[in-house]
Amino acid sequence: MPQSADNIKDHAKLFNEPEYQKLFESKKQFEGCHSEDVVASQAAYINTWEYREKNFSREALTINPAKACQPLGAVFAAAGFERTLAFNHGSQGCTAYFRSHLTRHFKEPCSAVSTSMTEDAAVFGGMQNLIDGLNNAYHVYKPKMIAISTTCIAEVIGDDLNAFVRNAREKGSVPEDFPVAYAHTPSFVGSHIVGYDAMVKAVLSNFWEGKERQPGTKINIVPGFDGFAVGNNRELKRILDAMGIEYTLVSDVSDVFDTPTDGTFRMFDGGTKLEDVADALNAKATFALQKYCSEKTLEYAESKGQDVASFHYPLGVGATDELLVKLAAVTGKPIPESLERERGRLVDAMADSNAWIHGKTFSVFGDPDFVYGITRFLLEMGAEPVHLLATNGSKEWAADMDALLKSSPYGVKGQVWAGKDLWHMRSLLATEPSEFLIGNSYGKYLERDLGIPLIRLTFPIFDRHHHHRFPVLGYQGGLAVLRTILDKILDVLDVETAKTGISYDLVR
Amino acid sequence: MTVDVKAERRALIDEVLKEYPEKTAKKRAKHLNVYEEGNSDCGVKSNVKSIPGVMTVRGCAYAGAKGVVWGPVKDMVHVSHGPVGCGHYSWSQRRNYSNGQMGVDSWVTMQITSDFQEKDIVFGGDKKLAKLIDEIETIFPLNHGISVMSECPIGLIGDDIEAVAKKKTKELGKVVAPVRCEGFRGVSQSLGHHIANDVMRDHVVDKAAGKEFDGTPYDVTIVGDYNIGGDAWASRILLEEMGLRVIAQWSGDASVAEMERGSKGKLNLIHCYRSMNYICRHMEEKYGIPWLEYNFFGPTQIAKSLRAIAAQFDDKIKEGAERVIAKYQPMADAIIAKYRPRLEGKRIMLYVGGLRPRHVADAYGDLGMEVIGTGYEFAHSDDYQRTTHYIKDGTLVYDDVSEFELEKFIERLRPDLVGSGIKEKYGTQKMGVPFRQLHSWDYSGPYHGYDGFAIFTRDMDLAVNSPVWGLTKAPWKAA
């Protein structure tokens, strides 16, 4: 008997016990599955160039795409505003999924409501659901703002949020002056990063439209969809404070996705103050830290007369330098010595570890700006990027990436894959492997199947805890990324050298 | 239960309802109750639409059909048909364990989708679907079938996935199942289960009824066990040990061959009644196969179930059941002896899907724990009737509870443990209340069977008795 009170074995061990191994063996007679030979032969075949070619000729089938849909980004963006309730107009299952998805990554509650549209709403439209939903949400959760995004059903039947919200106000669902931002976020266009952009723009326009801009000196920073926002936004604020810059972080989820366990559940916490959102119209400039998360938002800010600039998830030396230089140029504030010293420490760390990273090959997948930012840092360390993939990357992104690779002699091995999925990545890594893979938890299947160690550095990270609490942006973030990568390289080396004991060195 | 406590709980319901607009309060009042012993149901309304804007915990028909019923069938390719999101969020989230090689002869842990774009919405997706099925044949040639899991847009744009499936079934000579589980259908996951059962009936079971099979008098099928954390295996091992032959598992670690064997068993054993009773009723009506609900949570219910199952067979099996109970009971007793002193008298609140809010109650009872509140996301009235066999007088019952209600109930009743889902976990823990996820087993399991009870017990203890709960208040803060 495998189980005893003194030694309780759960799933990780229980099924390796002989009783269960026997059960698996005997179950096979009922399964009608392929013979071991057939399976082994197909398993070998999917690692070949021939299969890669077939795999890349797919036109209709998408397998393991590294992207989510628009409203997820909208819910995430909404969570970053003061006492703002994310509100999905559509089927309720969507909302359950968004909440679960964000919760599994942050290990934090995520609040959002739905208008629970069903068959009758599909026939008659969802206006009554929206009217009732706003009224209930306003009374029960007492938000300061409601941020509506749409899911498929509402988009396909063509529900008009502008008209619906106006009607809801007329019917008294929410007071006339209560802020309701709304964005159409069809899941069959773009991905979560587009939905993020749509919601940020919707919130800004809710407060900015019809207002006269009084140009001031503050800077708006839009962080973008970022699973590391808890650590990163705090790091950003520290940098901006160190420079003495007055700023508004537009959508800041660092508190609501990091509340304490002290006996109180805070459904809302922190976030960009609504008065600051209104005042953000007067900012001198709006910076987007992730270009492809903020295209519409930047256009909008620019149309209001603000200077705009965008970055690609700035981390490491050069990218952080550019951010600071730009901040200094726009605000006239000098870059303080404290940050210069931090820069020097990062360069120091890179020099210390250089020998272990130089020439190592890495593939990267994730959102477009993340892939760009990490690739740039890898190049700075003399590492060689190989396959760089963003399922939600555009042609423009691919061009940005190509230019980046060309800028460094270490970029020659780099191949950019826009719009491809992780089953494509599997073929790429099976035929032209890199030594390491950087991405999110979904990469663990590639790690297992191909034996390429995975370094988890981007959303979603479901199967490891707390990574998102520590910054990966800026110089400090560069240090954390460097350490994470280096730990993996040396852990792998230790495991490999432990087999013989040769090179299993105490000092590295 | 004293009259006072019951009155207090009723007052709590009233207090919570006061926070709603009047129309909403009136509707929600019908879903909340304090159970009166002797009543044949829990006195709550169920299986009706959720109220817009109040943060229901419920999911949708797609979640029920793809996520629960079809998704675990391992040698089929399950296509999330429509935009990318639904398949993404349900990708590898249910922990339905299976043996097989991902992308070679098993697809359970993959996200396979038609990734609809605007042009597919405008011009329809049937052609894309047909092409995609051909591509599956090239990319995953060892598959034994394909399911087409419809997302919301499919039913709204007038696509005819049934026609595509019919054509492809003929062409390929294998199961291509069109599942109309658009998320707007019905009021919860539940209709998705039903739709999934119906498609299984029409496209798998009935079509395969003529296939030859070498049966024995001891053939049974496990129905409604999704093998979360290996549950079905921890159940199967007991049934086999008592002398039965498990010819199929539905649908955890299932193969198409197992699903096709639906008409061949002598008895269908159903664990999750809510999600698969439909197909059991069909197999009973059409093939005369009786079905029996069983409960493999905790030694009391396991022994009771093993004997009830054995009663359907001859003495050999009855002796087998006694032998199994005699073998495992000492281990269960040792577990109880070790942990019961640590858990005795602890009060628990549950809020889960369609089975566990009642099925786990006696397992907690085995440990001396008491369920003080329970409710279902997507139960029907027959579930609430069955619940009365498990709960005590004065239990707070909440149907389709909103996060707001649940939070208030937890805050006021201060249970020692809450068992619910991922969305409820972290908010509850912030309140300083221990929590275990009872959908995914909180990344643990199995919890079924005797082996599972040991793990279940360990997990409840580590949650309730974690030292972290003693640290939530800063010492400089006045109590």
Contact between A224 and A76 under an 8 Å Cβ cutoff? The reply is no
Task: With CA atoms as reference, report the closest residue to B187 among B352, B56, B43.
Answer: B56
CA pair distance B103, B25, nearest whole angstrom: 49
Contacts within 8 Å (CB) and 24+ apart, A21-24: A23/B233, A23/B236, A23/B237, A23/B240, A24/B99, A24/B233
Hunting for tokens 């109590």 — which residue is that? B479
B124 and A CB contact within 8 Å: no
Distance (Å) from the alpha carbon of B50 to chain A's nearest alpha carbon: 7
Alpha-carbon distance values, A179 to A129, A146, A212, A449, B39 (Å): 19, 7, 18, 50, 48
Contact residues, chain A, for B219 at CB < 8 Å = none
CA B294 to chain centre: 14
- Please indicate whether, in this complex, the C-beta atoms of B444 and A266 are within 8 angstroms of each other: no
B25 pLDDT tier (thresholds 50, 70, 90): very high
A407 near B CB under 8 A: no
Q: Give me the catalytic one of B42, B61, B63, B152.
A: B63
From residue A10, give the alpha-carbon distance in Å to each of A375, B17, B354, B448: 40, 42, 25, 12
**What CA–CA distance (Å, rounded) separates B30 from A66?**
43
Interface of A with B in 69-88 (CB under 8 A): 69, 71-72, 87
Average pLDDT, chain B: 97
The one catalytic residue in A152, A165, A174, A203 is A152
User: Which one-letter amino acid corresponds to residue A344?
Assistant: G
The reported pTM is 0.98
CB contact under 8 A, B183 and A153: yes
Answer whether A42 touches B (CB < 8 Å). Answer: yes
Q: What are phi and psi of B241, to 5 degrees?
A: -65, -30
Q: What are the tens digits of pLDDT across the range B33-52?
A: 999 999 999 999 999 999 99
> What pLDDT does A143 receive?
98
DSSP type of residue B70 = I
- Cα–chain center distance at B334: 29
The minimal CB distance from B422 to the residues A100, A130, A156 is found for A100
| CB B146 within 8 Å of CB B77 | yes
The label of the residue with tokens 């070498």 reads B214
Interface test with chain A among B152, B181, B189, B425, by most A beta carbons within 10 Å: B152
Q: How many C-beta neighbours within 10 Å does residue B215 have?
A: 13
Distance between CA atoms of residues A220 and A463, nearest Å: 34
Tokens read off for A466: 């707390």
Identity of the amino acid at B165: A
Nearest to A39 among B105, B187, B236 (CB): B105
- The span from the CA of B345 to the CA of B372, in Å, is 11
3-state secondary structure at position B33? strand
Q: Is B138 on the interface with A (CB under 8 A)?
A: yes
Record the tokens describing residue B109, joined without a space. 């842990």
CB-based contact, A1 to chain B, within 8 Å: yes
Interface check B168 vs A, CB under 8 A = no
Q: How confident is the model at residue B181 (pLDDT cuts 50, 70, 90)?
A: very high
Q: How confident is the model at residue B479 (pLDDT cuts 50, 70, 90)?
A: low
Do A54 and B138 lie within an 8 Å CB cutoff? yes
Q: Token pair of B84, please? A: 């990318």
At B294, the pLDDT band (50, 70, 90 cuts) reads very high
Mutate to test the interface with A, among B28, B108, B115, B466 (most CBs of A within 10 A): B115
Identity at B315, one-letter amino acid code: D
Strand B112-113 relative to strand A62-63: parallel, antiparallel, unpaired? antiparallel
Q: Which residue has the tokens 């658009």?
A: B182
Active site residue B86: no
| Residue B86 contacts residue A120 (beta carbons within 8 Å) | no
Pairing of strands B396-398, B32-34: antiparallel
Write out the two tokens for A229. Answer: 């926002």
- Chain A residues whose CB is inside 8 A of the B89 CB are 68, 72, 97-98, 100-101
Active-site hit among B9, B28, B94, B358? B94
- Check residue B111 and report its DSSP letter: -
| B63 is annotated as an active-site residue | yes
How confident is chain A (508 residues) per 10-residue block, as mean pLDDT?
96 98 98 97 98 98 98 98 98 98 98 97 96 98 98 98 98 97 98 98 98 98 98 98 98 98 97 98 98 98 98 98 98 98 98 98 98 98 98 98 98 98 98 98 98 98 98 98 98 97 97
Give the pLDDT score at A443.
Answer: 98
DSSP at B476: T
B474 is catalytic: no
Structure tokens at A464: 């490891």
The position carrying tokens 């609140």 is: B349
- Does B459 have pLDDT greater than 70? yes
Nearest to B444 among A10, A60, A136 (CB): A10
| B357 contacts chain A (CB < 8 A) | no
Question: Residues B344-400: pLDDT tens digits?
Answer: 999 999 999 999 999 999 999 999 999 999 999 999 999 999 999 999 999 999 999
Interface contact A31-B255, CB threshold 8 A: yes
Q: What is the amino acid identity at position A109? A: P
CB atoms within 10 A of CB A352: 11
Contacts of B335 in chain A (CB under 8 A): 5, 8
Chains A, B: CB contacts within 8 A come to: 345
B152 in contact with chain A, both atoms CB, cutoff 8 A: yes
Q: B residues 282-321 near A, CB within 8 Å?
A: none
User: pLDDT tens digit string along B233-290?
Assistant: 999 999 999 999 999 999 999 999 999 999 999 999 999 999 999 999 999 999 999 9
- Quote the CA–CA distance of A259 and A241 in Å, as a whole number: 22
- Count the alpha carbons within 13 Å of B40 in the hemisphere toward its beta carbon: 2
Compute how many other C-beta atoms are within 10 angstroms of the C-beta atom of residue A81: 31
Residue of B nearest to A172 (CA): B21
Whole-number pLDDT of residue B2: 78
CA distance B201 to B280: 10
Query: Are B114 and B125 in contact, with CB atoms under 8 Å apart?
Result: yes
Mutation to test the B interface, candidates A57, A127, A136, most B Cβ within 10 Å: A136
Whether residue A48 lies within 8 A of chain B, CB to CB, comes out as no
CA–CA dist A151, A94 (Å, integer):
7
Q: What angle do CA B168, B169, B174 make, to 5 degrees?
A: 125
Q: How far is CA A83 from CA A42, A147, B62, B249, B479, in A?
A: 53, 10, 31, 47, 28
- Which of A5, A33, A133 has the CB atom closest to B53's CB atom? A133
Of A17, A27, A9, A464, nearest to B446 by C-alpha is A9
**Which one of A130, A131, A152, A266 makes the best mutation probe of the B interface by having the most chain B beta carbons within 10 Å?**
A152
Nearest-neighbour CA in chain B from A251: distance (Å): 22
Any CB–CB contact under 8 A between A60 and chain B?
yes
CB-CB: which of A14, A132, A264 is closest to B230? A14
Query: Over the stretch B425-452, which tens digit does the pLDDT of each residue have?
Result: 999 999 999 999 999 999 999 999 999 9
**Contact assignment for A1 to B55 by CB distance below 8 Å:** no
Backbone angles phi, psi at A307, to 5 degrees: -75, 145
Q: Does B183 touch chain A (CB under 8 A)?
A: yes
Q: Which DSSP helix (H) or strand (E) runs through B245?
A: strand B245-251
On the 0-12 / 13-18 / 19+ scale of CB atoms within 10 A, B165 is: buried
Of the candidates B83, B249, B450, the beta carbon closest to that of A3 is on B450
Interface with A, mutate which of B237, B430, B453 (most A CBs under 10 A) = B430
